[in-house]
Amino acid sequence: MQVLITGGAGFIGSHLAEALLARGDAVAILDDLSTGAFHNIAHLVQHPRFHFAIDSVHNSLVLDRLASQADAIVHLAAAVGVQLVVERPTETIETNVLGTHQVLAAARRYRCRTLIASTSEVYGKSEDLPFREDGDLVLGPSSRSRWGYAASKLLDEFLGLAAYREYELPVTIVRFFNTVGPRQTGRYGMVVPRFVRQALRGEPLTVYGDGEQSRCFCHVLDVVRALVALLDRPEVTSGEIYNIGSDQEVTINELARRVVQRTGSDSPIHHIPYSQAYAPGFEDMRRRVPDIAKIRAAIGWQPTCSLDQILDDVLAYERERLGTEEEGGG
């Protein structure tokens, strides 16, 4: 199979590219490096079945050329991270919605199997836990920019499912829940790499709010297994939405304590208000837990990595990265 990954130089995309190449597929990547990084894929450049283009999905000529050679497209290119969403809401909405429109148009031209990445953010403030794919979605007011991200990804879902219904394009939607692991950047607010880097540097771990909000963290390698299996089962999964994530909850306070413990750091844990971390009036969800029964029934998938394993893998990566920075005088 020939697979095009948009956003393929990013955290999830680079791991997916490795997995597909390892099993014999050909992989092309389209990424403008706005949130991805070339060093994530540099080790793949000489692979005979790997190709890349440093450009945006908004460049229709480049996207069309790559799609014309693909059997499947995994659309991961998007504005990512709460901090980016709050600071640059216009870019967030335009990147997500217009980018997905372009990808689906190219997929239709060449009948490409298509996976579209969505997010647990679309569940918004729903308190109907665990979140089911067919559950109601409860977003906050449009005056709060964080909900623009959820709305843009929800529109991506509508576009993908409309292409399936109107044009019989084999489209599957995946909703990611707090995917973590090596190569994830803390630049846009991702909590695990941020905590690990703070601990390694002996800095205070900054917890937003009271820290009793809970999340479920899933290793990127488990997520990649799910994506590959979904790609292989269009006859079962097309026209469907699937949660991908762990269903094991941990509070952010407990996460911070675990990071301090596993790094052996003396870093204190400091709490700061959301208004200081993001913006006045910022809203957050207390719990975010996926129901993964649907994907388990469809393809037999469930996560295998524990939180401690995830933290150890991130820790090993960040220690190496920190050492490289120190050697280079960075």
**11 is a domain residue:** yes
pLDDT tens column, 293-310: 999 999 999 999 999 999
**132 is a domain residue:** yes
Q: At what angle do helices 191-200 and 252-263 cross, to 10 degrees?
A: 40
% of the chain beyond a pLDDT of 70: 93
pLDDT at 222: 98
**190 is a domain residue:** no
pLDDT band, very low/low/confident/very high, at 122 (cuts 50, 70, 90) = very high
Highest mean pLDDT among 178-192, 224-238, 271-285: 224-238
Tell me how far apart the alpha carbons of residues 181 and 193 are, in angstroms, rounded to a whole number.
8
DSSP 19-40: HHHHTT-EEEEEE--SSS-GGG
Phi, psi of 26 (to 5 degrees): -100, 140
List Cβ neighbours of 267 (8 Å cut-off, separation of 6 or more).
198, 199, 202, 203, 204, 205, 260
Give me the CATH number covering residue 128.
Answer: 3.40.50.720
| Cβ contact 325:193 at 8 Å | no
Q: How many helices (H) and strands (E) does the chain have?
A: 12, 13
**111 is a domain residue:** yes
Residue 328 has pLDDT above 90, yes or no: no
Query: Domain residues for 95?
Result: 2-178+218-246+286-304
Total of domains in the chain: 1
pLDDT tens column, 23-61: 999 999 999 998 899 999 999 999 999 999 999 999 999
- Tell me the average pLDDT across 261-266: 96
**213 is a domain residue:** no
**328 is a domain residue:** no
pLDDT at 327: 57
**205 is a domain residue:** no
Residue 85 has pLDDT above 90, yes or no: no
Residue with tokens 């597909």: 20
Q: Which two tokens stand for residue 290?
A: 């996926």
**137 is a domain residue:** yes
Secondary-structure percent of the chain, ordered helix, strand, coil, rounded to 5: 45, 20, 35
Could you say which of 110, 123, 149, 167 is catalytic?
Answer: 149
Task: Assess whether 149 carries a catalytic annotation.
Answer: yes
**What count of Cα atoms within 13 Å lies in the side-chain half-sphere of residue 307?**
20
